[in-house]
Structure 1
């Protein structure tokens, strides 16, 4: 391992303790490493602007940081157990290559604001990716709602046949859900778009750091002004990002539930693309919807990560090493969550409906609500109409197309208002 930044003379390092302290940090830091390098470049520029670094020193540091980023991307440099964490690796590289110039890079900053800014940049990228995949899901759902809007589909409450619904209603529901998810991701990205670099360990430093420059250079919308609040926001902002992720994963979970039911032999409404199913290890006749079942389970992982971070945050103000444990849950939540969501658009594009099975599941009782509303429209008090429509003797084979066309309340099958949803989606581009 490279020399520890904080090691004091005469203090022997116990490898067991050091292994516990480091944990999986250096592996997790691979996610943040390029952002850490980007922030180090902006910090070096800021130091040059206040006279801590000369022009030549800045140029040398920037060149070495660019080289390190390229080596990391190509695999020539590997962030591994030789280093305590990514921050130490960057400084060790600069010192090895530039000597005293490299030793200047940490002037005016702490590993506390270093991890904060790298994590913040990573979170912004994750949230923009979340917004993009949510928009894609919404666009696919809108296109299929338009193409299949009049196809009848049984509507269920309590898993019991309830009323005649349509593919237009099913698809438009997910379209609006993912429009909301995209909007929430973008709003959360805007909320956390604050630069913590320059807050050091939470109390600032006795240097006139050019925090406006680093804010602009790193593409932040604003500076996180209070140095102490920058530390307090660690974990809080991560939880908000996971909540935005969970919003989309909740919708994914419910889609997966529908498809789990609809692909079963008892329903038989949907045929999944073959690549989204697997075979049984013992039963030759089986094709199992394993992908959608794991999609359904993904929300649990992200929700657990949020709870883990929330429990770690039972802390007073200031930095505490407990916060290191917030990193693993954050990374695992987004890796697994985004991995599931990125499979969804193609699944939605290519699933096939079995219209014969859907029509066969429509039964006379499912038109009873239409009958009650029709009698109420003619002037009969609704409770009386309800009582009369509940009589099975009044039920008859209905017309699904007529039922859907007559459902003209806004957002129902006869008035889907897909143009309104399309405009909302367009506004999120």
Structure 2
């Protein structure tokens, strides 16, 4: 491991303790490294603006930071166990190449605000990706909802309930993911605050140009209080995970439907072959493994949320416990986004089995229609309800699924799905 930034003269380090302290931090920092470099460039520019370093030094530092980013992308520079973390690696590289100029780069900042700003930039990127995936899922659902509606049994308590349709099913998930995209954008706006320049949580005795770095890094506003900058670590990560979890809750329910609908007992849906796998022992099997793992993906995000929540039982100020939040946010966000990315193609290519769906619509599923018709004609609803219940077995006489759907005129119902309104909401979230 390279020289430690915090090493004090006369104090020896214990290799076992150092391994425990470092953990897999330097490996996780590979995910945040380019954002750390970007923030370092803004910090260098800010130091030059207040005269702490010269313009020539700033230009040389920025060139080396750009070169480091290129080398990292190409594999010429590897962030590994030689370094305590990504922050140390940046300073070590700059010092190696530029001597004293490299040693000045840390003036006015701490690894605390360094990790905050890199993580914040990374979270903004991931929340933007979350909004993009949710919009893509909603768009596919709207496209398929606009196709001719096929009658589909509607269930409550996993029991056949009323006549529904494929259009209503897709419209339901379209609206869900429109809301999820909106929540992702709102969360991004909430965390879009620049912590760079708050140092270790109490500011520094320099007139740092924080307004400049806020603009240079593309943040909407400055996070003013250095103490709140530290308090927000973990809190903002939780908010991002909660936005992701909201989308994965809907994906879980969608995947549950497909898990049921693809069984032989239902037979409503056929999946694209690429989304199924074979059994290692049973030649006859094709298993919906992708759908099942989509269903399970919420668990990864929930686990990440739980771990961070447990870390946050802390007093004011930075505590080393927070190092463990980095792995949680990385694994939760990475896996959750990968799951959502698969959904649009799956939804676009799944196939409805119309005969099986129609065969599952039994006469009793029209009983609600009968009761409401009687109530609309003046019969007290409870009386109409009891009469319809008593005659449920014959409720389908003279009725068809198409008629049931055509008469469902309440907004959002089978005859008034309002896809145009949903499309307008989706359009408002683009760009």
Shorter-chain TM range is over 0.9
Indicate the residue corresponding to 1:73 in structure 2.
Answer: 73
Indicate the residue corresponding to 2:355 in structure 1.
Answer: 356
Q: What TM-score does the superposition give when structure 2 sets the normalisation length?
A: 0.98
Shift of 1:396: 3.0
8 Å Cα contact 2:364-2:394 kept in structure 1: no
Indicate the residue corresponding to 1:406 in structure 2.
Answer: 407
Per-residue Cα deviation, 1:226-267 (whole angstroms, up to 9, x for no partner): 011100100000000000000000011000000000000000
Indicate the residue corresponding to 1:210 in structure 2.
Answer: 209
Shift of 1:12: 1.1
> Matches of 2:345 and 2:383 in 1, distance apart?
48
Indicate the residue corresponding to 2:27 in structure 1.
Answer: 27
Structure 1 residues not aligned, in runs of 5+ = none
Shift of 1:76: 1.1
> Matches of 1:97 and 1:85 in 2, distance apart?
19
Q: What TM-score does the superposition give when structure 1 sets the normalisation length?
A: 0.99
Indicate the residue corresponding to 1:105 in structure 2.
Answer: 105
> Matches of 1:366 and 1:319 in 2, distance apart?
60
Indicate the residue corresponding to 1:62 in structure 2.
Answer: 62
Shift of 1:9: 1.1
Specify the SS of the correspondent of 1:281: coil
Per-residue Cα deviation, 1:280-300 (whole angstroms, up to 9, x for no partner): 000000000000111111101
Specify the SS of the correspondent of 1:164: strand
Shift of 1:55: 1.1
Shift of 1:395: 2.3
Indicate the residue corresponding to 1:323 in structure 2.
Answer: 322
Indicate the residue corresponding to 1:418 in structure 2.
Answer: 419
> Matches of 1:53 and 1:424 in 2, distance apart?
50
1:366-385 matches, within 5 Å, as: 366-385=365-384
Q: Does 1:91 align with 2:98?
A: no
Specify the SS of the correspondent of 2:146: helix
Indicate the residue corresponding to 1:139 in structure 2.
Answer: 139
> Matches of 2:340 and 2:21 in 1, distance apart?
33
8 Å Cα contact 2:363-2:394 kept in structure 1: no
> Matches of 1:137 and 1:199 in 2, distance apart?
39
> Matches of 2:394 and 2:165 in 1, distance apart?
24
Per-residue Cα deviation, 1:49-90 (whole angstroms, up to 9, x for no partner): 000111110110000000000011111111111111000000
Specify the SS of the correspondent of 1:390: helix
Indicate the residue corresponding to 2:274 in structure 1.
Answer: 275
Per-residue Cα deviation, 1:199-225 (whole angstroms, up to 9, x for no partner): 000000000000000000000000000
Specify the SS of the correspondent of 1:343: helix
Q: Which moved more, 1:72-81 or 1:261-270?
A: 72-81
Q: How many residues align?
A: 428
> Matches of 2:75 and 2:121 in 1, distance apart?
22
> Matches of 1:373 and 1:343 in 2, distance apart?
41
Shift of 1:394: 3.7
Indicate the residue corresponding to 2:395 in structure 1.
Answer: 395
Shift of 1:13: 1.1
8 Å Cα contact 2:365-2:396 kept in structure 1: no
Q: Does 1:48 align with 2:48?
A: yes
> Matches of 1:364 and 1:281 in 2, distance apart?
42
Specify the SS of the correspondent of 2:3: coil
Shift of 1:377: 1.0
Shift of 1:391: 1.9
Indicate the residue corresponding to 2:238 in structure 1.
Answer: 239
Specify the SS of the correspondent of 1:156: strand
